[in-house]
Amino acid sequence: MPLIRSILIGVVAASCVAAVTAPAAAPAKTAGACGSSGYAYAGLAASRRSFGISATLAPVTSPQVVSGHVAAWVGVGGVGAGPGRTDEWLQVGFSGFPGSSSLNLYYEVALPNQRPRYHELESELAPGTPRKVAVLEVRGRPDWWRVVVDGKAVSAPIRLPGSHGAWSPTATAESWGGGTFVCNRFWFRFTKLSVASTRAERWNRIGAAYPFSDHGYRVVRQSPSSFAAGA
């Protein structure tokens, strides 16, 4: 589940979309409004480099996955973000797959010149189940990161070469069509979005962030530190 490409972050940074007020329930679905055979995203990109990102994530509805997968995550890095423009990232969040109305909690790490590794932490989670998730750099250990869920570390320290002070975090929902043009449907809510300052594990509000969305998917801002995303 690759992170959004760095070039897209640069594009959305050039245009800020006005925030709107979201209803309490998921916005109405529009038949045929979405569709992709590859990756499609809807989320926020932090405007400044940070040393971690945290949010409380919750699936609002059961995912309807025709092909591929859906996901919602917070993370750092991306395609071409590692040394020598290699792929390098770390993300944690929910995933959903065809044939299931429940979700999984996972984290994924991509190291330079290696295939991404997907780690499942929980399965069969019902819609509405919240998890506070974070990735952050380990205090006093530049380039070493860990994954945290509900305040507890769920991974060993992970070395991401060249990452110290290099990345602006992302919080996003994601759909992948698996090579077939489909409309995978979902809604996820992100609340209490925060980023780690220069002192690791000292959290601040995410502040200025740039929304982005691919055709048919939407970001609905609910406050400066929360949003819903889906189709």
Tell me, yes or no, whether 177 lies in a domain.
yes
Tokens (6 digits) for 196: 């780690």
| Residue 67 CA to its chain's centroid (Å) | 20
Structural domain harbouring 70: 6-15+34-230
Tally of structural domains, the chain: 1
Tell me, yes or no, whether 126 lies in a domain.
yes
More confident residue, 43 or 25: 43
pLDDT tens readout for residues 132-160: 999 999 988 999 999 999 999 999 999 99
pTM for this predicted structure: 0.84
Q: Domain holding 219: CATH number?
A: 2.60.120
Give residue 3's pLDDT: 55
- Are 83 and 67 in contact, with CB atoms under 8 Å apart? no
Tokens (6 digits) for 30: 């529009």
Query: Taking CA 134 as the corner, what is the angle to CA 216 and CA 18, rounded to the nearest 5 degrees?
Result: 35
Residue 115: which residues within 8 A CB-CB, separation 6 or more? none
Tell me, yes or no, whether 80 lies in a domain.
yes
* Position 166, amino acid: A
pLDDT tens readout for residues 93-107: 999 999 888 999 999
pLDDT band at 77 (very low <50, low <70, confident <90, very high): very high
Tell me, yes or no, whether 201 lies in a domain.
yes
Residue 35: which residues within 8 A CB-CB, separation 6 or more? 177, 181, 182, 183, 215, 216
Tell me, yes or no, whether 174 lies in a domain.
yes
Tell me, yes or no, whether 160 lies in a domain.
yes
**In the predicted structure, residue 12 carries a pLDDT above the cut 70:** no
Tell me, yes or no, whether 226 lies in a domain.
yes
Closest CA to 197 of 74, 50, 73, 90: 50
Tell me, yes or no, whether 27 lies in a domain.
no
